C-alpha cells in the first residue's frame, strides 16, 4: 500500500489549483495511489454550507478541510486539497497536525487570474457584489516555504504535473 499524504494546493482564485489537481489525479492513480480531491466548491457544499467568507469562517472552512484530509491521509489516501486557503497561519496549523504535508503554491499574478476570471468572480468583486474576495479586498498570504511552486503564467499544466510528480518521488511519497 502507498503512503498517505496531504497535497495542499494554495493560490488565488483562477490560479489553476483545480485544473492541476484534476490533471494530477489520474497520474497518481496510475502509480497505485488512492486519491481524493477536496475541492473548495465541493467542500463548501458538503462540509461548510452556511459559512461565509469572513476571516473566521474561512479559517473554520480550512480547518475542516484539514481535518478530513488528515483522516484520509492517515488511512493511506492521497488527499489533494484545492481551496484558496489564503492565510499562512491556518495552513501551518494543518501542517502541524499532519506529518505528511506537501504544500504546492500555485502562483499567478492577480492580473493574470483576473484576466482569466473563469467563474466571473473577479468582475463581481470589482463591482462590490462580492465582499472579502481574496486578492481584491481580502489578503492572500503567499507561502514562504512551499515544497513546490507552480508558475501557471509560465508553465503548462503538463509541466506543473511533472514538476509535482518529480518532487513527490524525491520526497519518497510515490
Residue closer to its own copies by CB (options 50, 120) is 50
Concerning whether 85 is annotated as a catalytic residue, the answer is yes
How near is the Cβ of 61 to its own copies at its closest, in Å? 11
Stretch (H or E) spanning 122: helix 121-126
The full DSSP string for 12-71 is -TTSSHHHHHHHHHHHHHHTT-EEEEEEHHHHHHHT-TT--SSHHHHHHHHHHHHHHHHH
CB of 48 to its own copies, least distance (A): 9
Question: Of the two residues 25 and 36, which places its CB atom closer to its own copies in the complex?
Answer: 36
Sort 85 into a burial class: Cβ within 10 Å, 0-12 / 13-18 / 19+.
buried
Q: Smallest distance, Å, CB 47 to its own copies?
A: 6
Catalytic residue (one of 15, 21, 73, 85): 85
CB 122 within 8 A of CB 136: yes
Residue (of 100, 112, 103, 91) closest to 148 by Cα position: 103
Per-residue mark of binding to its own copies, 104-133 (x: CB under 8 A): ------------------------------
- Say what angle helices 88-97 and 55-73 make with each other, to 10 degrees: 20
CB of 103 to its own copies, least distance (A): 21
Report the distance separating Cα 158 and Cα 149, nearest Å: 14
Total residues at the site for its own copies (CB under 8 A)? 18
Which residue do the cell numbers 495552513 mark? 91
**Length of the chain, please?**
174
Nearer to its own copies, 82 or 125 (CB): 82
Kindly identify the residues of this chain, within the stretch 40-99, that bind its own copies according to CB under 8 A: 46-47, 49-51, 60, 63-64, 67-68, 71-72, 75-77
Of 15 and 48, the one with the shorter C-beta distance to its own copies is 48
Query: Is 34 among the residues that bind its own copies (CB under 8 A)?
Result: yes
Binding footprint of its own copies on the chain (CB under 8 A): 1, 34, 36, 46-47, 49-51, 60, 63-64, 67-68, 71-72, 75-77
User: Which residues are catalytically annotated?
Assistant: 85
Amino acid at each position: 500500500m502507498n503512503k498517505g499524504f496531504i497535497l495542499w494546493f494554495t493560490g488565488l482564485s483562477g490560479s489553476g489549483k483545480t485544473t492541476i489537481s484534476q490533471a494530477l489525479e489520474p497520474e497518481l492513480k496510475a502509480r497505485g495511489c488512492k486519491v481524493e480531491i477536496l475541492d473548495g466548491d465541493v467542500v463548501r457544499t458538503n462540509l461548510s454550507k452556511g459559512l461565509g467568507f469572513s476571516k473566521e469562517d474561512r479559517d473554520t472552512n480550512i480547518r475542516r478541510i484539514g481535518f478530513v484530509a488528515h483522516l484520509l491521509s492517515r488511512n493511506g489516501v492521497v488527499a489533494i486539497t484545492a481551496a484558496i486557503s489564503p492565510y499562512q497561519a491556518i495552513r501551518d496549523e494543518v501542517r502541524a497536525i499532519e506529518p505528511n504535508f506537501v504544500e504546492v503554491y500555485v502562483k499567478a499574478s492577480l492580473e493574470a487570474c483576473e484576466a482569466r476570471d473563469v467563474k466571473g468572480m473577479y468582475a463581481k468583486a470589482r463591482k462590490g457584489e462580492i465582499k472579502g474576495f481574496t486578492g481584491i479586498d481580502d489578503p492572500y498570504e503567499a507561502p514562504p516555504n512551499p515544497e513546490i511552486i507552480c508558475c501557471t503564467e509560465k508553465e503548462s499544466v503538463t509541466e506543473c504535473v511533472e514538476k509535482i510528480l518529480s518532487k513527490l518521488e524525491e520526497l519518497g511519497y510515490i
